[in-house]
Amino acid sequence: MDASKGNWAAQLNLDNSWSPPPSSWLKVNFDGSVHPNARAGFGCTIRDDRGMLLAARGGDSTFACLALNRILAGVYHGDVESKLARLMLECPRLVISQIGRRANSAADFVANQACLSDFVWERGMPLPHALSFVLSKDYEPM
Residue 5 has what pLDDT?
Answer: 52
Q: What share of the chain is helix, strand, coil (3-state, %, to 5)?
A: 35, 30, 35
- Which helix (H) or strand (E) segment holds residue 48: the answer is strand 40-48
Angle between helices 105-114 and 129-138 (to 10 degrees): 150
The 10s digit of each residue's pLDDT in 19-33 is 888 888 888 888 888
Residue 129 has what pLDDT?
Answer: 92
Residue 3 has what pLDDT?
Answer: 47
The 10s digit of each residue's pLDDT in 27-52 is 888 888 888 877 888 888 888 889 89
- Which helix (H) or strand (E) segment holds residue 12: the answer is strand 8-13
Pairing of strands 8-13, 119-122: unpaired
